[in-house]
């Protein structure tokens, strides 16, 4: 609903969400405390729209046919992280159809990489695992791909375990946009797409990455790990032990700049 | 390797084959094959470990700090042993082998909690049906449900003792099974006062019930001494860790071995030299290795580990009630070591009592609430961690490169140490009870009873990759061998 003043709003499921001009749907929703599942979205980086977890339907319609039946015409599907919010839109997110599709996406990610949660240091604070739990993923459904991936331990302080990469490019964007180092990139297409390091040898140890860089601290899964630190937080105190990933959506919202 | 009596028949093709598969009421999967002639005379008996795990191989290439959590997935019954043995090895890697008092005591509490739960599980759930009802009793009732129906008080104590042990593990590691409490150089949490009080309120009851359990097995032993003193008799060397004063210690110590007559073979030997002290033999018919004391050779160097070895190797037990029971156990043998397999149960229950008493004393120690959790020092490239797991001495050995990745892993799991002894025990039982008789389920259960005495964890014990001798034959339709390839113990392939 537009009130004709500065604040405009749209509807997300049953809730009216205010937004500011230029905000995306997910930014406005998270700011308003409404969670939309996501993996490649990050409030500090340019939206990417690749993981599709945040897909919503916009402006579905219900029509009545000539024989009196009510039929729903699904609205267009769009990544809420790249779609600007518009006044009076009707956005659907928490529907059985979309939740089912998100579960399927997470299942595909889980079988594409080698995600062995029981021995992963990121377990309990991993966004992929947290989403899987939150969406009620009970099994991988698809056959395990068992992709052959390596570990790059060449850097003195940071380890790369490519087995767990979900190609979200958060590290790529962090390194380019925040660290201004361009340490990471994706290479290849389709099933051969993979994360690479920007050095002649291809090894992380030959890049100028520092453990304090944003890129070394942004991985949502267990790829970029700080060496010699593992399992330091006891069970029960890990990030998603205390609250599910969908709790307190404002934590994922863009931080307003102080005026 | 040396061939033991009844290990390999001269003409196996002419003999009848009986298979017990799976061996029940043990952890993991194994089978026993028995070859008999027309008169039911036993010619060959083997305990085969038919599952394969391969942890030694896939630990390679992983970062060292992940190993204590990863490797505990070997087992769902005694993961704490692997968690702690790997942690001890990694303590050396990070230069933190001298733990803080809080870290060492928290680990001890976790370990003694596991000893309590594992021994309770084995005695009450797995073995008590045989012992209370008889080896050839009604098979439909020879299980924990049958025990609960006939002896509800015994079953209840068994379940609650195990539960308490699991709770100790949960409080110290975060989960009842596969927690993360121990990290290289220490632990990731101490106890809160609330957690200590929660465990302490039941500690006295656990000590009392553990005493009752010792009484049960002692009584069974004395009531049927002829059976208990002779069944599955395996006179052998016994090996275990002991503390610096020769006392029983499940968490740390040096190696001691005594021969079958109780004479010392070696004592206070650092486990850092385990790989020259012991040799891991292999045989083509089992995925489980056959370790032996190198100096004594494969014929004479095999040994027993576990409760029976520990209770008889140590000079004392640091807790008063268990020490009293140890002395009675010692007196029962009239000064000679006991080697009958059923004596394992008596020794195991004395250990459970020791674990309960130790848990109680640890819980009132203020160090359990400390905040100094992790130690570190100069980085090393090799670490060996050894611990007394419920089933016996457990060895973890790792090498880590400069990039912090594991390049080598070798495990000698408790059950593996007992491989030869278990095989000798089942052959002894087969010879005595089965040979020349019409086989029944009850008679075959005698074989399983002998195996159960050792409380084997077969899933833990099979990790070597590429070390087993193998033979592959290509045979035509008429049965003629066209080609044969063999791989020897040295890994060489020959045609």
Contact A232 B183 (CB under 8 A): yes
pLDDT value at residue A2: 47
Alpha-carbon gap, residue B133 to B146, rounded angstroms? 9
Task: Please name the member of A154, A227, A233 whose beta carbon is closest to the beta carbon of B188.
Answer: A233
Per-residue pLDDT for A1 more than 60? no
Cα A235-A240-A243 angle, rounded to 5 deg: 115
Mean pLDDT over B160-164 rounds to 98
Alpha-carbon gap, residue B214 to B356, rounded angstroms? 12
Contact A159 B404 (CB under 8 A): yes
The conformational region for residue A49 under phi > 0 = left, psi -120 to 50 = alpha, else beta, is left
pLDDT value at residue B287: 80
Mean pLDDT over A57-71 rounds to 92
φ, ψ at A201 (rounded to 5°): -80, -15
| CB < 8 Å to B404, chain A | 153, 159, 227-228
pLDDT value at residue A184: 98
Contact A153 B403 (CB under 8 A): yes
Q: What topology is assigned to A116-241 in CATH?
A: Alpha-Beta Plaits (3.30.70)
Strand order in the sheet with B254-258: B264-269, B254-258, B237-242, B303-304
**How close are the terminal C-alpha atoms of chain B, in Å?**
21
Every domain of chain A and the residues it spans: 8-94, 116-241
Q: Is A226 on the interface with B (CB under 8 A)?
A: no
User: B466 pLDDT band (50/70/90 cuts)?
Assistant: very low
CATH top class, domain B55-421 = mainly alpha
Mean pLDDT over B142-166 rounds to 93
pLDDT value at residue A212: 98
Q: Of B349, B434, B315, which Cα lies nearest the Cα of B131?
A: B349
Mean pLDDT over B48-71 rounds to 88
φ, ψ at A181 (rounded to 5°): -120, -20
Q: How many Cα atoms occupy the beta-carbon half-sphere of B233 within 13 Å?
A: 12
User: B481 pLDDT band (50/70/90 cuts)?
Assistant: confident
Cα Rg of chain A, angstroms: 20
Residues A30-47 pLDDT 10s:
999 999 999 999 999 999
**How close are the terminal C-alpha atoms of chain A, in Å?**
27
Per-residue pLDDT for B464 more than 70? no
Burial of A87 (0-12, 13-18, 19+ CB in 10 A): middle
CATH of A8-94, one of 3.30.830.10, 3.40.1080.10, 2.60.40.10, 3.10.20.740: 3.10.20.740
Alpha-carbon gap, residue A192 to A149, rounded angstroms? 11
Per-residue pLDDT for A237 more than 80? yes
Task: Please name the member of B61, B94, B178 whose beta carbon is closest to the beta carbon of A151.
Answer: B61
Mean pLDDT over A153-173 rounds to 97
In sequence order, the 6+-apart residues with CB closer than 8 A to the CB of A111 are A140, A141, A142, A143, A144, A145
Task: Please name the member of A151, A227, A230 whose beta carbon is closest to the beta carbon of B183.
Answer: A230
> Is the peptide bond preceding residue B38 cis, with omega within 30 degrees of 0?
no
Q: State the average pLDDT for chain B.
A: 91
Alpha-carbon gap, residue B414 to B390, rounded angstroms? 8
In sequence order, the 6+-apart residues with CB closer than 8 A to the CB of A81 are A24, A25, A26, A27, A38, A40, A41, A47, A48, A49, A54
Cα B110-B114-B115 angle, rounded to 5 deg: 120
Q: Which strand (E) or helix (H) includes residue B278?
A: strand B278-281
Distance of CA A14 to the CA centre of its chain: 23
**pTM of the shown model:** 0.92
Mean pLDDT over A79-91 rounds to 97
DSSP line for B203-242? HHHHHHHHHHHHHHHHHHHHHTHHHHTTTTB---EEEEEE
Residues A168-191 pLDDT 10s:
999 999 999 999 999 999 999 988
Task: Please name the member of A118, A159, A235 whose beta carbon is closest to the beta carbon of B63.
Answer: A159
Mean pLDDT over B120-147 rounds to 90
Contact A235 B174 (CB under 8 A): yes
Residues B111-133 pLDDT 10s:
999 999 999 999 999 999 999 99
Q: Calculate the alpha carbon distances from A155 to A159, A177, A197, B64, B159 in Å.
A: 7, 22, 11, 15, 50
| CB < 8 Å to B94, chain A | 228
Question: In this predicted model, which residue has the larger pLDDT, B115 or B78?
Answer: B115
Complex ipTM: 0.92
Q: Each residue of B214-243: b (16+ CB within 10 Å) or e?
A: bebbbebbeeeeeebbebbbbebbbbbbbb
Contact A227 B173 (CB under 8 A): no
Q: Of B306, B355, B389, which Cα lies nearest the Cα of B79?
A: B389
Per-residue pLDDT for B423 more than 50? yes
Tokens 């020490």: give the residue. Answer: B323
Contact B73 A151 (CB under 8 A): no
Name B350's bridge partners: none
pLDDT value at residue A94: 97
Per-residue pLDDT for B20 more than 90? no
Q: Of B442, B466, B125, which Cα lies nearest the Cα of B287?
A: B466
Closest-CA residue in chain B for A116?
B70
| CB < 8 Å to B403, chain A | 153-154
Instruction: Give A101-104's long-range contacts (Cβ < 8 A, gap of 24+).
Output: A101/A55, A102/A37, A102/A53, A102/A55, A102/A131, A102/A135, A103/A135, A103/A136, A103/A137, A104/A141
> By mean pLDDT, which of B9-13, B36-40, B264-268, B460-464 is the weakest?
B460-464
Alpha-carbon gap, residue A55 to B336, rounded angstroms? 76
Q: Which residue intervals of A4-125 are DSSP H helices?
A: 25-31, 96-112
Contact B405 A225 (CB under 8 A): no
| CB < 8 Å to B180, chain A | 231, 234-235
> By mean pLDDT, which of A4-13, B88-97, B441-450, B482-491 is the weakest?
B482-491
Of A170-174, B138-142, B452-456, highest mean pLDDT: A170-174
Name B255's bridge partners: B241, B269
Instruction: Give B278-284's long-range contacts (Cβ < 8 A, gap of 24+).
Output: B278/B412, B280/B412, B280/B416, B280/B464, B280/B467, B281/B1, B281/B489, B282/B1, B282/B464, B282/B467, B282/B468, B282/B469, B282/B489, B283/B1, B283/B469, B284/B468, B284/B469, B284/B470, B284/B471
Strands (E), chain A: 8-12, 15-19, 55-58, 61-64, 70-73, 76-79, 90-92, 151-152, 158-161, 184-187, 194-197, 224-226
Alpha-carbon gap, residue B42 to B35, rounded angstroms? 6
Alpha-carbon gap, residue B90 to B96, rounded angstroms? 8
> By mean pLDDT, which of B141-155, B224-238, B251-265 is the weakest?
B141-155
Q: Which of residues 188-207 of B touch A (CB under 8 A)?
A: 188-189
Q: Calculate the alpha carbon distances from B451 to B36, B221, B259, B448 in Å.
A: 20, 18, 22, 5
User: B74 pLDDT band (50/70/90 cuts)?
Assistant: confident
> By mean pLDDT, which of A4-8, B49-53, B116-120 is the weakest?
A4-8
Q: Is A153 on the interface with B (CB under 8 A)?
A: yes
Alpha-carbon gap, residue B263 to B238, rounded angstroms? 10
Tokens 């195990």: give the residue. Answer: B162
Per-residue pLDDT for B158 more than 80? yes
Cβ atoms within 10 Å of A70's Cβ, excluding its own = 8
pLDDT value at residue A5: 55
């Amino acid at each position: 609903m537009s009130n004709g003043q500065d604040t405009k709003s749209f509807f997300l499921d049953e809730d009216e969400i205010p937004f500011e001009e230029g905000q995306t749907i997910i930014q406005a929703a998270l700011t308003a405390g409404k969670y939309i599942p996501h993996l490649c979205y990050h409030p500090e980086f340019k939206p990417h729209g690749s993981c599709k977890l945040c897909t919503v339907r916009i402006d579905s319609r219900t029509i009545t046919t000539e024989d009196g039946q009510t039929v729903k015409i699904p609205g267009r599907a769009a990544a809420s992280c790249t779609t600007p919010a518009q006044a009076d839109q009707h956005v659907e997110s928490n529907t059985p159809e979309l939740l089912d599709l998100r579960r399927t996406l997470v299942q595909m990610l889980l079988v594409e990489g080698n995600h062995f949660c029981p021995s992963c240091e990121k377990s309990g604070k991993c966004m992929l695992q947290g989403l899987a739990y939150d969406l009620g993923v009970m099994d991988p459904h698809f056959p395990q791909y068992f992709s052959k991936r390596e570990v790059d331990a060449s850097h003195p302080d940071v380890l790369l375990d490519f087995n767990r990469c979900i190609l979200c490019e958060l590290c790529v964007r962090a390194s380019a946009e925040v660290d201004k180092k361009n340490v990471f990139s994706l290479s290849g297409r389709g099933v051969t797409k993979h994360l690479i390091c920007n050095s002649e040898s291809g090894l992380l140890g030959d890049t100028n990455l520092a453990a304090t860089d944003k890129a070394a601290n942004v991985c949502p899964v267990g790829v970029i790990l700080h060496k010699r630190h593992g399992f330091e937080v006891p069970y029960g105190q890990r990030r998603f032990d205390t609250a599910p990933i969908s709790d307190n959506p404002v934590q994922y919202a863009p931080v307003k700049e102080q005026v | 390797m040396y061939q033991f009596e009844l290990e390999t028949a001269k003409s196996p093709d002419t003999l009848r084959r009986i298979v017990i598969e799976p061996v029940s009421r043990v952890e993991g999967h194994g089978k026993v094959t028995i070859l008999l002639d027309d008169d039911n005379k036993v010619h060959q008996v083997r305990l085969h470990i038919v599952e394969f795990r391969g942890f030694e191989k896939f630990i390679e290439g992983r970062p060292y700090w992940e190993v204590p959590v990863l490797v505990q997935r070997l087992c769902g019954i005694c993961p704490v042993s692997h968690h702690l043995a790997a942690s001890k090895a990694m303590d050396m890697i990070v230069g933190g082998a001298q733990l803080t008092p809080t870290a060492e005591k928290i680990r001890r509490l976790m370990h003694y909690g596991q000893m309590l739960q594992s021994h309770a599980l084995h005695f009450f759930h797995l073995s008590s049906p045989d012992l209370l009802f008889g080896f050839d009793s009604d098979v439909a009732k020879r299980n924990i449900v049958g025990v609960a129906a006939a002896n509800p008080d015994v079953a209840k104590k068994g379940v609650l003792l195990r539960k308490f042990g699991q709770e100790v593990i949960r409080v110290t590691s975060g989960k009842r099974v596969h927690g993360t409490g121990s990290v290289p150089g220490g632990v990731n949490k101490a106890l809160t006062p609330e957690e200590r009080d929660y465990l302490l309120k039941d500690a006295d009851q656990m000590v009392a019930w553990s005493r009752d359990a010792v009484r049960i097995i002692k009584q069974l032993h004395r009531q049927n001494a002829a059976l208990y003193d002779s069944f599955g008799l395996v006179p052998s060397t016994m090996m275990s860790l002991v503390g610096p004063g020769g006392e029983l210690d499940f968490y740390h110590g040096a190696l001691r071995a005594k021969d079958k007559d109780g004479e010392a073979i070696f004592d206070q030997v650092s486990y850092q030299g385990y790989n020259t002290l012991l040799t891991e033999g292999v045989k083509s018919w089992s995925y489980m290795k056959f370790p032996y004391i190198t100096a004594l050779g494969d014929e004479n160097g095999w040994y027993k580990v576990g409760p029976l070895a520990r209770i008889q190797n140590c000079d004392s037990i640091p807790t008063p009630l268990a020490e009293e029971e140890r002395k009675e156990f010692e007196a029962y043998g009239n000064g000679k070591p006991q080697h009958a397999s059923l004596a394992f149960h008596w020794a195991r229950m004395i250990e459970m009592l020791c674990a309960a008493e130790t848990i109680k004393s640890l819980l009132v120690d203020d160090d359990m609430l400390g905040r100094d959790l992790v130690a570190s020092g100069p980085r090393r490239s090799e670490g060996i961690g050894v611990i007394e797991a419920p089933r016996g001495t457990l060895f973890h050995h790792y090498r880590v490169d400069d990039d912090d990745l594991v390049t080598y892993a070798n495990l000698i799991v408790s059950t593996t140490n007992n491989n030869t002894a278990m095989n000798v025990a089942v052959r002894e039982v087969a010879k005595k009870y089965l040979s020349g008789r019409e086989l029944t389920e009850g008679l075959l259960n005698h074989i399983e009873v002998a195996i159960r005495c050792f409380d084997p964890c077969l899933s833990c014990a099979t990790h070597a990759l590429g070390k087993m001798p193998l033979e592959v034959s290509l045979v035509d339709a008429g049965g003629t061998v066209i080609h044969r390839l063999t791989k020897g113990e040295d890994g060489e392939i020959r045609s």
